[in-house]
């Protein structure tokens, strides 16, 4: 038996052991995974589910049957659907009632929080963000700084990352200096998958008088956040580990102590619900985070999110993270055994506590490998310059799927199949 074969055997045995030991959190028949694929891209867009489809159909039927009366009539009137979805979402991230608002995009929610809570003074004006932050976060930060007549190149301070893209939590805490007003930090870094210690950094920021807006797009629905205890402000999207659908409504968290809030940007949907239709031109904001809403919510998108949240019924977020930890451990182990010989390295921290839901694999041909994998029905993605991201999302992926994907990647590398895709990868952006 060759050493490669014995490695494969050991990994297959380990996959079987894990799948026997780790209970499935959601039955497979609740999902609509793209047929014939190994879907390891839930870090970008979670798959469609049966309850999400059912909920959208029900909203369409309601529209067809009662038209405009859908806003007010029936068992599930649309008028306060955003509030009901926020209330369902709140326990999944440890928010108290009224601390969460749902709607718009992550970018819009970030603008709303920065516009509202970034109040630079002569002595405290800097905005901190990590080097290589998700582009929209950086754009929002730069434009909010400019709104105050400040120069982003002088006002925005970048937290440096190391050669492997790692952020040192100690260095982040040390950067909370006396001239820093606000920091935008990721719960999980979108490239490397590194998870930051939310509670510790929030505490350090509080001691230094710095406000943090957390972008939890890569940890909501994965990490058992206790936002009420661990954060003051946060935003997150709901289309990754919460499986809300493409472009599903985003969320913002505002701690109770910061409520009621006078939002920088007001719209009629942020009104106190009892006064929204007074139509007297006065704005009386909702007493809770709902005040951050702007205009009429997209009901079909909200319906899909409401349906997808049903998948979390009866599930403990601790079990979700535990399963994610076991599957990402296994993915890293399989990558070491089968991919390291081809020059692939694991760019995600080995320490489970410092890791989110995906594993980033570094290889110079990462873009071409992503295309080669997709041609073999393994759905992953690429982030420049050299990272492949694979997410064994714990609600629907098992260890056998993880191993199958790694084996296909090893086979591609062994055959140098990525060479077929180098030109295409260089010509077009690989999303």
Ligand X SMILES: Cc1ncc(COP(=O)(O)O)c(C=O)c1O
Which residues of the shown chain bind ligand X in the complex (CB under 6 A)?
105-107, 134, 136-137, 186, 190, 215, 217-218, 237, 250
CA distance 179 to 34: 50
* Nearest approach, Cβ of residue 238 and ligand X (Å): 9
Distances (CA, A) of 193 to 55, 328, 332, 342: 32, 10, 12, 22
CB of 237 to ligand X, least distance (A): 4
Our CB check for ligand X shows the closer of 184 and 412 to be: 184
CB of 65 to ligand X, least distance (A): 32
Structure-block tokens of residue 387: 């990272």
Q: Which helix (H) or strand (E) holds 251?
A: strand 251-254
Least CB distance to ligand X at residue 250 (A): 5
Q: Pick the closest to residue 368 from 420, 310, 290 (CA basis).
A: 420
By the 10 Å C-beta count (0-12 exposed, 13-18 middle, 19+ buried), 245 is classed as buried
Total residue count of the chain as it appears in this document: 431
Which helix or strand (DSSP H or E) is residue 390 part of? Answer: strand 387-390
Residue whose CB is less far from ligand X, 190 or 269 = 190
Q: How far is the CB of 189 from ligand X (least distance, A)?
A: 8
Judge contact between 357 and 216, C-beta under 8 A: no
Residues 6+ apart with CB under 8 A from 75: none
Using CA atoms, how far apart are residues 269 and 98, in angstroms rounded to an integer? Answer: 15
Beta strands in 117-202 (DSSP E): 126-130, 156-159, 180-186
CA–CA separation, 238 and 89 (whole Å): 10
* Token pair listed for 166: 């790692």
List residues with catalytic annotation. 134, 215, 239-240, 389
- Which structure tokens are listed for 67? 């038209």
Task: Work out how close the CB of 3 gets to ligand X at its nearest, in angstroms, rounded to a whole number.
Answer: 39
């Amino acid at each position: 038996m060759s050493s490669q074969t014995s490695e494969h055997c050991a990994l297959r045995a380990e996959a079987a052991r894990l799948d026997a030991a780790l209970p499935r959190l959601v039955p497979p028949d609740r999902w609509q995974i793209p047929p014939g694929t190994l879907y390891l891209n839930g870090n970008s867009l979670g798959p469609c589910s049966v309850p999400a489809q059912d909920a959208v159909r029900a909203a369409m039927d309601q529209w067809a049957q009662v038209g405009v009366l859908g806003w007010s009539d029936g068992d599930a009137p649309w008028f306060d659907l955003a509030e009901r979805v926020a209330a369902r979402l709140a326990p999944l991230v440890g928010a108290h009632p009224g601390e969460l608002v749902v709607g718009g995009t992550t970018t819009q929610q970030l603008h709303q929080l920065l516009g509202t809570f970034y109040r630079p003074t002569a002595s405290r004006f800097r905005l901190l963000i990590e080097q290589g932050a998700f582009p929209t976060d950086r754009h929002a930060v730069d434009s909010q700084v400019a709104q105050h007549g400040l120069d982003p190149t002088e006002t925005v301070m970048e937290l440096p990352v190391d050669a492997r893209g790692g952020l040192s939590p100690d260095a982040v805490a040390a950067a909370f200096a006396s001239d820093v007003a606000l920091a935008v930090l990721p719960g999980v870094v979108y490239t490397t998958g590194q998870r930051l210690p939310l509670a510790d950094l929030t505490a350090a920021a509080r001691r230094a008088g710095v406000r943090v807006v957390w972008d939890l797009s890569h940890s909501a629905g994965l990490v058992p956040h206790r936002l009420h205890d661990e954060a003051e402000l946060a935003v997150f999207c709901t289309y990754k580990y919460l499986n809300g659908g493409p472009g599903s409504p985003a969320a913002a968290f505002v701690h109770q102590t910061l409520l009621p809030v006078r939002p920088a940007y007001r719209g009629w949907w942020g009104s106190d619900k009892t006064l929204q239709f007074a139509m007297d031109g006065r704005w009386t904001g909702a007493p809770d985070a709902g005040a951050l809403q702007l205009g009429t919510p997209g009901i079909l998108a909200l319906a899909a999110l409401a349906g997808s949240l049903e998948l979390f019924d009866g599930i403990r977020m601790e079990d979700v993270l535990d399963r994610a930890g076991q599957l990402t451990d296994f993915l890293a182990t399989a990558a070491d055994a089968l991919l390291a010989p081809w020059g692939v390295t694991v760019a995600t921290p080995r320490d489970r506590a410092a890791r989110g839901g995906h594993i980033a694999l570094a290889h110079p041909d990462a873009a071409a490998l992503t295309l080669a994998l997709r041609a073999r029905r393994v759905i992953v993605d690429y982030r420049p310059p050299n990272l492949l991201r694979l997410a064994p999302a714990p609600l629907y992926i098992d260890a056998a799927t993880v191993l199958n994907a790694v084996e296909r990647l090893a086979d591609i590398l062994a055959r140098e199949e990525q060479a077929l895709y180098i030109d295409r990868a260089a010509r077009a952006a690989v999303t």
